[in-house]
Chain A
Amino acid sequence: MDKTVNQKAWFLVLPVFLVVAFSAVLPLMTVVNYSMQDTFGNNQFFWNGVGWFKELLDPSTDLGGRFLASLGRNLFFSFVILAIEVPLGIVIALSMPRQGWQVAACLVILALPLLIPWNVVGTIWQIFGRPDIGLLGYVLNGIGLNYNYVSNDLDAWVTVIVMDVWHWTSLVALLCYAGLKSIPEAYYQAAQIDGASRWAVFKAIQLPKMNRVLLIAVLLRFMDSFMIYTEPFVVTGGGPGNSTTFISIELVKIALGQFDLGKAAALSLVYNLIILIVCWIFYTVMTNAGAERRPAEGGA
């Protein structure tokens, strides 16, 4: 078969190139440009090469120290979030009703936290946790727990984590529920006939069938939790001290507080790269774990 050569097709692709260039490539290149320079007042820029990147990776400098410390906090936060939200989401999805009006009720209740804007969630928990007027803080102190997220590191962390679990576990649960609903009834009937226990049904049918949605849930929750900014900023402002200062909070401080555009640009590039790499690792690991069963699933 002869292929027709027709260069006119480029004109059809061109708008996409333009949109992508203006929306993604050019802004990114601006950031790359800034990351190689140092800024002073009056819009003066001086070439700094890879100096900021060297500093970022060197814990003995101010920039590097702050970056690596907040990176550690971010990784720990994401790890804890995933370790709580994924199993909890699965359990919620498994215990949800399969039919009747209760389904709609459950879905609405679960969807509520997802519909609340980030800073409102932050404000809710900021007030909820206050020892003087907040319901949670007041009750905890009332029963003798000395809970204060403004002064105690551990309390601040617990508040931020519980807040995220409250806000986002629904997402994992809803995704898992969708995965569970797509399992044909015959699988459960066959498992009954094969004498499978509840746990065996979960391991042999439900978990493998939820594999795909779990991958999506883990990726989304990782990316979101790794980029978290608004909620902890509203609740703790990164404190007490620097104990809940995540990379994004650090980034805003450097870029807008100190107006160090070069440092901030270098930091945001590295930040971006870390998210990409971790997501790639998750994706590869989780798809390879199920690689053997992928081709056949298309027909099911």
Chain B
Amino acid sequence: MARIDLVDLAHSYGGNDAAPESFALKPVTMTWRQGGAYALLGPSGCGKTTLLNVISGIITPSRGKILFDGNDITPLSTQKRNIAQVFQFPVIYDTMTVGQNLAFPLKNRGVPKAEIDKRVSEIARLLDLEPYLNRKATRLTADAKQKISLGRGLVRSDVAAVLFDEPLTVIDPELKWQLRSKLKALHRELDLTMIYVTHDQTEALTFADTVVVMHDGRVVQSGTPAELFDRPAHTFVGYFIGSPGMNILAAEVRGREARIDGHVIGLKRSYDGLPSGAKIEIGVRPEFVEVAQPAPGLLSVRIERIDDLGRIRFARVRVGDVKLAARVPAGFTVSDGTAALKFDPSHVHVYADSRLVEGAA
């Protein structure tokens, strides 16, 4: 059990001399606190598995340090780190029974037999694997196998963190939900640091108390699900989290006004002194844009289609070449395809070169 600090950590598969832009993992400094449930969220190829493998020691980072409770463990091999990792596809040892599978990490470390038996039966109880302990592990279903992989991680009493690399990919949706609840329960019971890699935002938002969003090798934001939703620090986060994603519009921002196509949208805060030459955009979630009847002072749009999600309807609209999504209020009917948009000023954010700009009150 430990706090994990990453200090200026970076990795390139092309070696340390590779161009900075080609690094799979760009320099990152962050802290994972003891007992946290983290999700590493991002699209395929964004570097999340690289980051995970660097923490577990499968990959030695090109630059930077990893500290466990302040001790530099960067040069230590995977075997010597107190890390457990569960992979995308279940890994089980074919010739062994479920019990022997669970005992394997302890046996390798020379733990006394009595201690092994005690830990194995305890973990088997937590994971509901008790009835299978003496069965060959190969005959079991995918979710049971994944539980064994997980159990091998948990069986060591000294693990600093358990890392999950998209562990539920091969599991049926119904069992996925059960297994995820099981993980949450285990997290509460064992007070372990858990880092869960996924590209599925639902999975990330339901599992974690802190979601770390990665994009193109960078950690772009780390925060609670609510923070990611309300104040995306990067246009990518706005776009990636939420369904449909955040509307991002190129705009001219001056003071408390943003101009799009000559139309003015009011802002809650004042944005003076934006960096000149930067690409200025505003971002607003579809939930905070409302479709209304055309009226003077409102941005007029063409409605292309309306997606009915059951509880809520979203209109896909177009202003010139720009496509937007907006909430359709209950009872609103579209007459001839033209409508207007009402923005909620407190939820309109301003981005300079894709990064959130804090306005002045």
Given contacts A186-B91, A196-B104, A204-B93, contact A295 B139 (CB under 8 A): yes
* Contact yes or no, B87 A195, CB < 8 A: no
Which residue of B94, B104, B139 has the most chain A CB atoms within 10 A of its CB atom? B94
Task: For the complex, give the distance between the alpha carbons of A194 and B87 in Å.
Answer: 13
Q: Which residue of A lies closest to B78 (CB)?
A: A192
Given A195-B109, A196-B104, are A293 and B58 neighbors across the interface (CB < 8 Å)? no
**Interface: B85 (CB within 8 A):** yes
**Which B residues are CB-close (under 8 A) to A293?**
94-95, 136, 138-139
Q: Which of A190, A205, A209, A299 contacts B87 (CB 8 A)?
A: A190
Which residues of B sit under 8 angstroms from A187, Cβ to Cβ?
A: 91
Q: A184-B89, A187-B91 are in contact. Are A292 and B104 (CB under 8 A)?
A: no
- Are the C-beta atoms of B136 and A193 separated by less than 8 Å? no
B139 and A296 within 8 A (CB): yes
Q: What residues on B are CB-neighbors of A192 within 8 Å?
A: 57-58, 77-79
Given known contacts A186-B91, A208-B94, A293-B94, is B105 in contact with A194 (CB within 8 Å)? Answer: yes
Give the shortest distance, in Å, between A275 (CB) and chain B (any CB). Answer: 30
Contacts of A292 in B (CB 8 A): 136, 138-139
Taken residue by residue from 285 to 300, chain A's Cβ proximity to chain B (1 for < 8 Å, 0 otherwise) reads as: 0000000110111010
Asked if A193 contacts B138 (CB within 8 A), the reply is no
**Chain B residues within an 8 Å CB radius of A299:** 142
Look across to chain B and name the residue whose beta carbon is closest to the beta carbon of A297. B138
Q: Does A189 contact B (CB under 8 A)?
A: yes
Shortest distance between the CB of B241 and any CB in chain A (Å): 28
B56 at the interface (CB under 8 A from A): yes
Report the interface size for chain A: residues with CB under 8 A from the other chain: 23
**A205 contacts B93, C-beta separation under 8 Å:** yes
User: Which residue of B56, B108, B149 has the most chain A CB atoms within 10 A of its CB atom?
Assistant: B108
> 1/0 contact trace for A258-300 toward B, CB 8 Å?
0000000000000000000000000000000000110111010
User: Main secondary structure on chain B at its contact with chain A?
Assistant: mixed
Given contacts A194-B152, A293-B95, A293-B136, contact A186 B105 (CB under 8 A): no
**B152 neighbours in A (Cβ, 8 Å):** 190, 194
Instruction: Give complex CA distance A293, B78 in Å.
Output: 29
Which residues on A sit within 8 Å (CB–CB) of B153? Answer: 193
Report A152-205 residues with CB < 8 Å from chain B CB.
184, 186-187, 189-190, 192-197, 200, 203-205
Does A197 contact B108, Cβ atoms closer than 8 Å? Answer: yes
Q: How many A-B contacts at CB < 8 Å in the complex?
A: 72
Residue pair B91, A195 in contact (C-beta under 8 Å)? no
Question: Residues of B contacting A297 with CB < 8 Å?
Answer: 94, 138
- A297→B140 CA distance, assembly (Å): 11
Contacts of B139 in A (CB 8 A): 292-293, 295-296
- Is B83 close to A, CB under 8 A? yes
Q: Is B84 an interface residue (CB 8 A)?
A: yes
Q: Give bound CA distance, A203 to B152, whole Å.
A: 18
Provide the bound-state CA to CA distance between A112 and B74, in Å: 44
Contact with A along B147-158 (1 / 0, CB 8 A): 001001100000
Say yes or no: is B96 at the interface (Cβ < 8 Å to chain A). yes
Asked if B89 contacts A186 (CB within 8 A), the reply is yes
CA distance A208 to B78 in the complex (A): 23
Chain B residues within 8 Å of A204, by CB: 93, 95-96, 104
Is B338 interfacial (CB 8 A cutoff)?
no
Which residues on B sit within 8 Å (CB–CB) of A209?
A: 94
Interface check B88, CB cutoff 8 A: yes
B contact residues around A203 at 8 Å (CB): 95
Write the A95-118 contact mask toward B (1 if CB under 8 angstroms, else 0). 000000000000000000000000
Provide a sorted-by-A list of 29 A–B residue pairs whose CB atoms are within 8 angstroms.
A184-B89, A186-B87, A189-B78, A190-B87, A190-B91, A190-B152, A192-B57, A192-B58, A192-B77, A192-B78, A193-B78, A193-B79, A193-B83, A193-B85, A194-B105, A194-B152, A195-B105, A197-B108, A200-B108, A204-B96, A209-B94, A293-B95, A293-B136, A293-B138, A293-B139, A295-B139, A296-B138, A296-B140, A297-B138
Give B contacts to A, CB under 8 Å: 53, 56-58, 77-79, 83-85, 87-89, 91, 93-96, 104-105, 108-109, 136, 138-140, 142, 149, 152-153
